[in-house]
A and B are shown apart, each in its own frame.
Chain A
């Protein structure tokens, strides 16, 4: 069966420090991968998505970047965190079609202090 792993679960980082969040998927190949941010337990903001290795699309220009070094690995990074980067970050994967739906990771609670 397919599983998605996201870590760490919580992270407290000082302003100006770097960030690396990792997400891996098992049990499927060539998934679409996504990074979302959720502020204050409400709506989802799509940050990045990837349809293949090295293919990254950015939805919102900001202080973050994403990379997909392997088929089932998706990394969210920042060189220098801002206070406004605090939030709940969710990784998700889907099949290559609009009828599959998404499977989400368990999320990372990032607090920038």
Chain B
């Protein structure tokens, strides 16, 4: 079965420290990979995506993600966390199938950045 895993329900990090939010996937074919962020009582916002090319993708708010095909991972990273980065983060995988395409979202990881 095709799936996306975010193995950590919650990640705690001190302000100024680097952060990593993990995402692994299990799909057939070549997926497109996305990260979204959700602030309280708001819709999800697009952060970045990997389509092809350089494995390191840079996105909004200083975030970046590294695509690792051999480990089927797409971890979200930021060199120096801010308190304002505290939010719910979703990894997503989109892939084509006969008749259309499908997007699978991970369960989300809550990031707490402490001042």
**Which residue of chain A lies nearest to B93 when distances are taken between CB atoms in the complex?**
A98
**Which segment, of A12-20, A37-45, A61-69, A76-84, faces chain B?**
A37-45
Cross-chain contact A106 with B105 (CB below 8 angstroms): no
Count B interface residues, CB 8 Å: 26
Q: Are B41 and A90 in contact (CB under 8 A)?
A: no
Query: Min CB distance, B52 to chain A, in Å?
Result: 9
Given contacts A90-B44, A102-B46, A103-B46, contact A97 B101 (CB under 8 A): yes
What are 20 A-to-B residue pairs whose CB atoms are below 8 Å? Answer: A6-B43, A41-B40, A42-B88, A43-B106, A43-B107, A44-B90, A44-B105, A90-B43, A97-B101, A98-B95, A98-B96, A99-B49, A102-B34, A102-B36, A102-B46, A102-B92, A104-B36, A104-B44, A107-B42, A107-B43
Contact B103 A102 (CB under 8 A): yes
Determine whether the beta carbon of A98 is less than 8 Å from that of B43: no
| Chain B contact residues, CB within 8 Å of chain A | 32, 34, 36, 40-46, 49, 51, 88, 90, 92, 94-96, 100-103, 105-108
Query: A59 CB to closest chain B CB, in angstroms?
Result: 10
A107:B90 contact, CB within 8 angstroms: no
Interface size of A in residues (CB-CB distance below 8 Å): 21
The complex places the Cα of A107 from the Cα of B41 at a distance, in Å, of: 7
- A31 contacts partner chain B, Cβ-Cβ < 8 Å: no
| Pairs A-B, 9 closest by C-beta atoms | A104-B43, A98-B101, A98-B94, A43-B107, A104-B44, A44-B105, A106-B43, A99-B32, A107-B43
